[in-house]
Amino acid sequence: MGGETRTNVIEYHESLIEDYLSKKGSVCCKGSIEQYTAEQENIENAIKVAIKSEFKYGRKKHPHQYHIYDYVYENFKKNLLNVKEKIKVINNFDELLIIIENNSPSGAGELFCYDVALRIGHYLKKLPDKIYVHSGTRKGLEKLFNEKIKEKSLYQYELPEPFNLCDLADEQLEDFFCIYKENICGIKENISSIKCKPLPKIC
């Protein structure tokens, strides 16, 4: 890839980051489940809100959890309430995610576990210090690198420009690569054809 083309790709990806930040800061994205969980008065309520997957305003479920059966929510809630004392004293996000994965019921996949961990992490103020790779996020990163991503997590410094230097937090980068997976310009792709694709709606 030539220098000029490379510069164009970096500028294009910078525009995607700006689009993401502007949409995430809009009114329709207020009252996120992470924020709602963080507002709870105790760990029991935080667990319940995190698993219920409903936004603060209205009963709309998070799109990641649209197709999960009701009994999965109930089993997950019961399991995590049984280990709430362990959850309260975790030292970092990794520990939290391991506890949640080890106590997840059948039907709760890796994305649901991560989402629940992130929500409870906001309540406990224990957030990711790396980018966790799963489902949609993996697709976006594989497109960026033009190769399979087998790792379960990546550090921001391992990403190419502008992602290694941008101000997005690790949890935001995970979210970004999932949402914008079809808009990422890969190493071997023609930037003109990628730019023609519509940008995703976040809200």
189's CB contacts (< 8 A; 6+ apart) are: 143
Burial pattern 111-135, b for ≥16 Cβ within 10 A else e, equals: bbbbbbbbbbbbbbebbbebbbbbe
Instruction: Give me the mean pLDDT over the 178-188 stretch.
Output: 91
Give the pLDDT confidence score for residue 1 in this predicted structure: 45
The string of pLDDT tens digits covering residues 17-52 is 999 999 887 555 556 899 999 999 999 999 999 999
Return the higher-pLDDT residue of 7 and 119.
Answer: 119
Is 185's pLDDT higher than 60? yes
Structure token pair of residue 99: 């506890």
pLDDT at 137: 95
Measured from the Cβ of residue 200, the count of other Cβ atoms closer than 10 Å reads 15
Q: Please name the residues in contact with 154: beta carbons below 8 A apart, sequence gap of 6 or more.
A: 130, 131, 133, 141
pLDDT bucket at 2, cuts 50 / 70 / 90: very low
The pTM score is 0.88
